[in-house]
């Protein structure tokens, strides 16, 4: 059974750093692109970015470029999303997602989702 | 403002069919048969229900179907059931720097 298990909820202060994780199991981690989707309270889904665990090729939405870092550690089948300096507007649920067959002009679908990590940032 | 445009809400009675539209541009929906659809029930993670235009993941009901015409994709749910009440999102690969775009989501109410 394919599973993406995310780290627990976080409560942070503005300006602090944070790294949340997503551990994949039930499949060969290195063979599937993995990425992150944000959902702010009461709002829709926003695509943040994606990484290929094989070669660390990483793409970001222009809205998130320079704001977050996406990475993966294939030795422990885990993907990460990190912030260097949190803002109150980073308060949201963050989902890690696996891609069916990568993300290109021939395929780009998110087939498995983690349970979500709620990040709350206050001053 | 989301890159793909969906109606904010739709409703239908049990047994009826409803359709949710998803309008994009020549840089995304119109150029690729890669629209996927996701169902999100309250306080749950989204779930893939249609991918690559009109394919079903294993275990998803064939009451869900999808189509595309020009820059507009559509999701149809036939034989509405109470359990279909949820938010629905479309998503497309995009040739622009955006790379992947979501719709703003549509809340389906089963009357």
Looking at the DSSP bridge assignments, the partners of residue A60 are: A49
Average of pLDDT values for A14-24?
Answer: 98
Tell me: pLDDT of B72 over 80: yes
Phi, psi of B82 (to 5 degrees): -55, -35
Q: Which among B46, B57, B100 has CB closest to A108?
A: B100
Best mutation target among B49, B94, B99 (most A Cβ atoms within 10 Å) is B99
Residue B87 token pair = 């938010």
Compute the distance between CA of residue B4 and CA of residue A78 in angstroms, rounded to an integer: 31
Q: Is A109 on the interface with B (CB under 8 A)?
A: yes
Q: Please, what is the end-to-end C-alpha distance for chain B in angstroms?
A: 29
Rounded to the nearest angstrom, the minimum Cα separation between B105 and chain A is: 6
> Which residue of A lies nearest to B55 if distances are taken between CA atoms?
A109
Q: Give the pLDDT mean for A87-114.
A: 93
Q: Contact, B34 vs B87, CB < 8 A? A: no
Instruction: List B residues 7-36 in contact with A (Cβ-Cβ < 8 A).
Output: 32, 34, 36
Give me the count of residues in chain A.
Answer: 123
- Name chain B contacts of A109, Cβ cutoff 8 Å: 34, 36, 48, 51-52, 91
pLDDT tens digits, residue range B87-109?
999 999 998 778 899 999 999 99
The pLDDT tens digits of the residues spanning A50-61 come to 999 999 999 999
Asked if residue A99 has pLDDT above 70, the reply is yes
pLDDT at A39 over 70: yes
Label residue B2 by pLDDT band (50, 70, 90). Answer: low
Give the helix, strand, coil percentages of chain A, each rounded to 5: 5, 50, 45
The minimum CA-CA distance between A68 and chain B, rounded to whole Å, is 16
**Nearby residues of A112 by Cβ (< 8 Å), 6 or more positions away:** A2, A3, A4, A97, A98, B48
Q: Do A107 and B100 touch (CB under 8 A)?
A: no
Per-residue pLDDT band for B1 (boundaries 50, 70, 90) equals low
- List, for residues B12-69, the tens digit of each pLDDT value: 999 999 999 999 998 899 988 889 999 999 999 999 999 988 899 999 999 999 999 9
Strand pairing partners for A82? A19, A69
Query: Do residues B33 and B52 touch, judged by C-beta distance below 8 A?
Result: yes
Q: Dump pLDDT digits (tens) for A64-79.
A: 999 999 999 999 999 9
- Whether residue A44 and residue B51 make contact (CB cut-off 8 A), yes or no, is no
pLDDT at B65: 95
Q: Closest Cα of chain A to B69: distance in Å? A: 18
Residues of B in contact with A45 (CB under 8 A): 38, 40, 46, 89, 91, 102, 105
Phi, psi of A100 (to 5 degrees): -55, -55
Distance of CA A92 to the CA centre of its chain: 12
pLDDT given at position A107 = 86
Categorize the per-residue pLDDT at A31 as very low, low, confident or very high, splitting at 50, 70 and 90: very high
Cα A51 from chain centre: 9
Mean of pLDDT values over A5-12: 98
Whether residue A111 and residue B57 make contact (CB cut-off 8 A), yes or no, is: yes
The residue-averaged pLDDT of A27-42 equals: 96
Segments of chain B assigned E as strands = 9-12, 18-23, 36-40, 47-50, 64-69, 72-77, 86-93, 100-102, 106-110
Q: Does A4 touch chain B (CB under 8 A)?
A: no
CA nearest A103: which of A66, A63, A45, A48?
Answer: A48
């Amino acid at each position: 059974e394919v599973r993406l298990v995310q780290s627990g909820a976080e409560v942070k202060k503005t300006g602090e750093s944070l790294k949340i994780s997503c551990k994949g199991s039930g499949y060969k981690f290195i063979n599937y692109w993995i990425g992150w989707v944000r959902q702010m309270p009461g709002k829709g889904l926003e695509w943040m970015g994606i990484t290929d665990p094989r070669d660390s090729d990483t793409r970001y939405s222009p809205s998130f470029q320079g704001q977050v870092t996406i990475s993966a550690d294939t030795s422990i089948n885990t993907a990460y999303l990190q912030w260097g300096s949190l803002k109150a507007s980073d308060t949201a649920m963050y989902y890690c997602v696996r891609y069916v067959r990568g993300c290109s002009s021939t395929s780009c679908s998110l087939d498995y989702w983690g349970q979500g990590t709620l990040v709350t940032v206050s001053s | 403002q989301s890159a793909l445009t969906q109606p904010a809400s739709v409703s239908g009675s049990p047994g009826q069919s409803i359709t949710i539209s998803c309008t994009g541009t020549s840089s995304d929906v119109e150029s690729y048969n890669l629209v996927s659809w996701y169902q999100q029930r309250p306080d749950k993670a989204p779930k893939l229900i249609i991918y690559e235009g009109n394919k079903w993941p294993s275990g998803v009901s064939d009451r869900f179907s999808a189509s595309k015409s020009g820059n507009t994709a559509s999701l149809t749910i036939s034989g509405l059931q109470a359990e279909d009440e949820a938010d629905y999102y479309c998503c497309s690969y995009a040739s622009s720097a955006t790379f992947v775009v979501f719709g703003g989501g549509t809340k389906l109410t089963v009357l």
